[in-house]
Structure 1
Amino acid sequence: MTKSTILVVDDETINLDILYIGLSKVGYKVLVATSGENALKSVARIKPDLILLDIKMPGIDGYEVCRQMKNNSDTQDIPIIFVSVADDTVNKVKGFKLGAVDYITKPFQLDEIVARVQTHSTIHNLRRHLGEQNAQLEQEMSERKRVEKVSAEREHYFRSLIHNLHEDILVIDPDYRIVDVNNKVLNTTGLKREQVIGRYCFNVLHGYDTSCDKHGEHCMLHDVFKTGRPCSYQHIHLNAYGSKVYVDILLSPLKDKEGNVTHVIESIRDISDLMQVQDELRESEEKWRSLTENSPYHIMLLDMDYTILFINHTVPDLTIQMKISLVLSVLLVTSPTVSWQRKNWLAWSI
């Protein structure tokens, strides 16, 4: 590790030589200045780690050099040790008030100089290192706060999206417990958030006290946790009034960095109205088919290419079917009363 740079300021050459040689031997990089003016120029150019500063010098004395350095933000943290023949308390107090870290009287012992330089140089390096760490920490904290703010804004944005969806959204852990829901779930179940979080999904959605497997139903959640693949299916759930509703369910796995499934997002859409329409359509088709089958007339259902899609039992054989199809083709081409463009098929009775 490179040792510190020391600036020695003294107008007496013999003192400069002693301090230069002694400090250089123990590994310090030593610079010298013979006046206060030269000292300030050197400090502005080099920024030493520590200064040994004589007080009584021609021109600008040591006190003035110290005062100017402490008033400059670029040099105010550089430690200054005064070296002077003045050993009275008044001079020492004045030096400390100006910002010096130590005071050594002349004649000095080289070992004492080296020891004090080592001490204050170490303290200065530690303070500088601590300051750099604090600056880095403040920067990291500032960046962390910025990231946390952005994350909070994103979380609020996505949570708002989820809460305003028209589908029930649940987040379920591997124990089948609900860890999060959107507002639609609360509206559907008629429960409060604290009444849902932590409960088993089969208890909230199906009214079961035990898992679906124990009620003879295959649990699709189990498959998603095991395979890590999403799936969709239809099921029957309970609404806020205890009535059964038909739902379409999409299960999507959430994985950690290692690819392990940690949670499953369950998206539920009520399809009761769709199922009702399908049932009504099925009943209507069955009624129509029953009427046509029991009709005494020959009834056929044709598509736009005049292909026979359906015939009832009164049509005797394929030959008659073909003749009737040919007759209908002529009628459809020539008759102005048939609006073929409005239909994809035509039912004809003879």
Structure 2
Amino acid sequence: MAEIKDGIATKRILLIDDDELTVNALAQRLERRGYQTMVLTNPANVMETLAREKFDIVLLDMVMPKVGGLEVLLSIRKVYNKTQLPVIIVTILNDSTEMSSAFSAGVNDYLAKPFSIDAGIERIKAHINSCELQREQLKLRELEVVRAMVVTYNHEFNNAVGIAKVELDLLKTKITDPDSLNRLDRALARITEIVQKISDAGKSSEISFANYVNDIKMVKIKN
């Protein structure tokens, strides 16, 4: 879990590079700027590490002798999309074909070696913030759909209960036993109370989401 400092969660960066000296130096510089880092010099262990640890972003060296950066990136993207886990490749390559392959594989951005720590941090911050915003927007959209479905189900429920209430009212005319009538009256009163509570709870949602449901036409009720 991310460390909390002054009420703010410290961002965690996974650094993947087989050059231990270089990657540790970068990790130290990032930590001096307030980030938490984890160094992985064996890229073959990346998926095991990601399954065990949570990171906000990955800095991935493109050129590694045993397992190349592109292969590592493809493995990551099989599990995490660009919004769930942003990846920035770090490379000395100036090959447009290689870079095109990296972007096709799902890299978010790249840093060309050598780069200044300030430039690197600006890219890191930009992608962490952008992905966090996209994830929040996705959650809000999902919540909108759920609430719209609640409104729709509420309407269906009210209709069904309304029909049942009418039938029970008719049934009262055929019951002569006082105790049975009393129990039925209490049941009808309870049904009325429940319907009113559901109706009151759904009114604000109906106002907020009626247009949303009509516009996207995606909420369907399965019988």
Per the normalisation by structure 2, the TM-score is 0.66
What are structure 1's unaligned runs of at least 5 residues? 167-255, 258-350
Structure 1 equivalent of residue 136 of structure 2: 129
Matched letter for residue 34 of structure 2? G
CA distance in 2, matches of 1:142, 1:25: 48
Moved beyond 4 Å, runs of 4+: 159-166
CA distance in 2, matches of 1:24, 1:78: 20
CA distance in 2, matches of 1:40, 1:148: 46
Residue from 57, 60, 69 that aligns with 1:62: 69
Larger radius of gyration: 1
Identify if the C-alpha distance between structure 1 residues 15 and 149 changes in structure 2 by more than 3 Å, giving closer, same or farther: farther
Structure 1 equivalent of residue 35 of structure 2: 28
Let me know the Cα RMSD of the aligned residues. Answer: 2.6
- Of stretches 93-102 and 58-67 in structure 1, the one that deviates more from structure 2 is 58-67
- Count of aligned positions: 167
CA distance in 2, matches of 1:156, 1:4: 56
Kindly report which structure 2 residues correspond to 1:244-259, keeping only aligned pairs within 5 A, or say none: none
Question: Counterpart of 1:82 in 2: which secondary structure?
Answer: strand
Q: CA deviation at 1:127?
A: 1.6
Structure 2 equivalent of residue 53 of structure 1: 60
Contact 2:87/2:108 (CA < 8 Å) preserved in 1?
yes
Query: Which of structures 1 and 2 has the larger relative contact order (alpha carbons within 8 angstroms, sep 6+)?
Result: 2
CA distance in 2, matches of 1:137, 1:3: 30
- Using the aligned pairs only, state the percent identity: 25
CA distance in 1, matches of 2:116, 2:139: 34
Residue from 106, 113, 117 that aligns with 1:106: 113
Structure 1 equivalent of residue 51 of structure 2: 44
Kindly report which structure 2 residues correspond to 1:1-350, keeping only aligned pairs within 5 A, or say none: 1-72=8-79, 75-76=80-81, 77-159=84-166
Contact 1:9/1:34 (CA < 8 Å) preserved in 2?
yes
Residues 21-60 of structure 1: CA deviation (Å, up to 9, x unaligned): 2222232221110121122221121131210000111222
Contact 2:63/2:69 (CA < 8 Å) preserved in 1?
yes
Structure 1 equivalent of residue 217 of structure 2: none
CA distance in 2, matches of 1:119, 1:22: 18
Structure in which a larger fraction of residues adopt strand: 1
CA distance in 1, matches of 2:156, 2:36: 48
Contact 2:24/2:39 (CA < 8 Å) preserved in 1?
no
Per the normalisation by structure 1, the TM-score is 0.43
